[in-house]
Amino acid sequence: MSNATIISKTAVELSHSLSEKELSSQEVAQAYLEQIDRVDPQVHAFLHRDDDDFLAQANASDKRRAEGNTLGPLDGIPVAIKDVISVQGQPLTAASKILENYISPYDATVIRKLKDAGAVIGGRLNLDEFAMGSSTENSAYGPTRNPWDFNRVPGGSSGGSSAAVAAREAPLTLGSDTGGSIRQPASLCGVVGVKPTYGMVSRYGLAAFASSLDQIGPFSQTVEDAALLLETISGHDPLDSTSFPTEVPQYSAALRDPLTPCTLGLPKEFFGEGIDDEVRKAIDQTIEFYRSLGHKIVEISLPTTDLAVPVYYVIATAEASSNLARYDGIRYTSRSEQSENAINVYAKSRGEGFGEEVKRRCILGAYGLSSGYYDAYYLKAQKTRTLIREDFSRVFKEVDVILTPTAPTPAFKFGEKSNDPISMYLSDIFTISTNLAGLPALSVPCGFTNSGLPIGMQLIGQAFEESSLLSIAHAYDREHRFGCQSPNI
Amino acid sequence: MSESDPNPMDIDYVSNLARIELTKEEREKFQHQLGDVLQYFEKLKEVDVDGVEPTAHAFPRFNVWDEDQAKEPFSVKQAIQNAPQSRNSQIVVPKVVED
């Protein structure tokens, strides 16, 4: 089988080929390494690779298979990791200079689960520093380029994770989503991305940005692949006290059940001004498709929609300013050589080690938590967050899922929004509210613009109802498979 | 700080709270940009949240206890492997107490 054929396969197809002995995990790993060698000088999805370790894992998988001890459908399948999730013995920079030399002393729970499933853990993927951004331009190690148009951003913050799947440098990747950081880049790169319900996937070993919002989730070409990866990484973890004690359904099996007619809600606040015409048209076609399958489409209202972005930036920056206090120049980060005493070692190390957006957000967060402003900003935002949750609870009495565009526009150009924080923040306007409400949501590719840029639709589900969310998404995806189209690079 | 107007933000005071040293250029740029962001946050002022409970977590869990069992901790080597300066299995820090 040619390398081009291998890398074009979905994870489910690769798994099938491995079990049929048409391919070895070694061959799969080699094919991806060659593709990374070929395209990554342009795409720049990877910050670090350890090819020897990668091939050794593939070899171990082949051995298990030969001995009849295969660990499951992911055994031998490569999964590349956003550089914010700990893999023992591998670097974790969070795309920040302050963690330039950091090596993880332990595995994140999601990584332990992947290793237990036999997955071949691949390289470290680029992101906006500490997952703060929507374009991957905030990486201290240079931006990732969108494989569909190298002049455009891949989205962010998990831009390396989305670009790697789109450029066929990995069949599966993991990212993290705090306000849209999985779904928005998935949409901009034309791949599938899932943010699970808050508490469904352990955050142990994820470098924290905003702990009440962060979730790890999968990227893939198809919804079927995402279901397979999600069921592997989900589940209660005693090491994360916010992880929810609930059973993990077999999502892949649920996809094979016939879909009963359901009700899809279109929030009128998401379909107002500011949506690109071609995005609008593609979303209208997906709506028509669901209607043609016999599902009911209703208009709904989420009146707190325009409050989500300000609430998010008050809460997320406050949590970030607390979480990032651990990068202190003392224990495990780089230390400023200019520091003279025990006090300015902090400010100087952080001043040198953090990039602009991280500094902006830590300062903003400290302000919102500071004496005299706490009630007006942080507490007010937390109360408004309750109103946003209540909006969703009310709507979910009428509908099964909510359908929206994932992002208002296709991929934008480098530099277009990087000097205007608010305009950058607004590129997450459709994704942010689900993190505040803790709900599961995903982005599925639903077409291309005339100039060939991918477009994504977002489906938002009820808490812990990933099964039905994925099934409804799969009903569209298996007929269209836009994520299986690859850019000409 | 509480007596002053929220706009403009006292960037020197807040960056000190955040323990981040800024360059002169950053200070000027952030002053302007964060002023715009605070302006944008003004939207929240109009929201009526009388009697509304704050949300800290979407699905809060309380009293999450761990089994009272001894576990294998990091070795000293693992614990300090990433320290910028270490000596004799300890992290070296700048001098805290004057001679």
Give the nearest chain B residue to A308 (CA atoms).
B44
- Condensed to tens digits (0 to 9), the pLDDT of residues A363-389 reads 999 999 998 999 999 999 999 999 999
**B87: in domain:** no
Domain CATH for B13: 1.10.20
Which residue in the set B30, B81, B94 is minimally distant from A105, CB to CB? B81
Q: Domain ranges in chain A?
A: 3-263+399-484, 306-366
Q: What is the ipTM of this complex?
A: 0.91
The minimal CB distance from A345 to the residues B9, B29, B94 is found for B94
Question: Domain residues for B21?
Answer: 1-45
Q: Is some CB atom of chain A closer than 8 A to the CB atom of B78?
A: yes
pLDDT of residue A418: 85
pLDDT in tens, A397-444: 999 999 999 999 999 999 999 888 888 888 889 999 999 999 999 999
Determine which of B12, B13, B41 to mutate to test the interface with A (most A C-beta atoms within 10 Å): B41
Cα–Cα distance, A144 to A148 (Å, whole number): 12
Contact at CB, B16 and A348, closer than 8 angstroms? no
Q: Residues A134, A181, A220, A418: which is the catalytic one? A: A181
Q: Is B22 inside a domain boundary?
A: yes
Could you tell me which residues are beta bridge partners of residue A215?
A177
| Whether residue B2 has pLDDT greater than 50 | no
DSSP B89: T
Chain A segment 403-432 residues within 8 A of B by beta carbon are 421-422
Which range, of A202-211, A340-349, A447-456, averages the lowest pLDDT? A340-349
| Chain segment A121-160, per-residue pLDDT in tens | 999 999 999 999 999 999 999 999 999 999 999 999 999 9
How crowded is residue A481: how many other Cβ atoms within 10 Å of its Cβ? 15
Arithmetic mean of pLDDT, A95-105? 97
Marked catalytic residue, from A9, A82, A113, A195: A82
A1 touches B: beta carbon within 8 Å: no
Could you say which residues from 26 to 55 on chain B have a Cβ atom under 8 Å away from some Cβ of chain A? Answer: 26, 29-30, 33-34, 36-37, 40-41, 43-45, 47, 49, 52-55
Q: Is A157 a catalytic residue?
A: yes
A16 has a chain B CB within 8 A of its CB: no
In this structure, is residue B38 part of a structural domain?
yes
Domains: count for chain B: 1
Contacts of A37 (CB under 8 A, 6+ apart): none
CATH architecture of A3-263+399-484: Alpha-Beta Complex (3.90)
Domain assignment present for residue B33? The answer is yes
In this prediction, residues A468-473 reach a mean pLDDT of 98
Note whether A383 contacts B: Cβ–Cβ < 8 A: yes
Q: Is B54 a domain residue?
A: no
Nearest to B2 among A362, A366, A372 (CB): A372
B55 vs A344, A367, A382: nearest CB? A382
User: Cβ contacts (< 8 Å) between B52 and chain A: which residues?
Assistant: 383-384, 386-387
Q: Could you say which residues from 65 to 104 on chain A have a Cβ atom under 8 Å away from some Cβ of chain B?
A: 101-103
**Per-residue pLDDT tens over the stretch A272-288:** 888 999 999 999 999 99
Q: Tell me the nearest-neighbour CA distance from A423 into chain B, angstroms.
A: 10
Per-residue pLDDT averaged across A319-334, rounded?
97
Say if the Cβ atoms of B34 and A389 lie within 8 Å. no
Confidence (pLDDT) at B7: 53
Q: For residue B1, is pLDDT > 80?
A: no
In a domain, B37, yes or no: yes
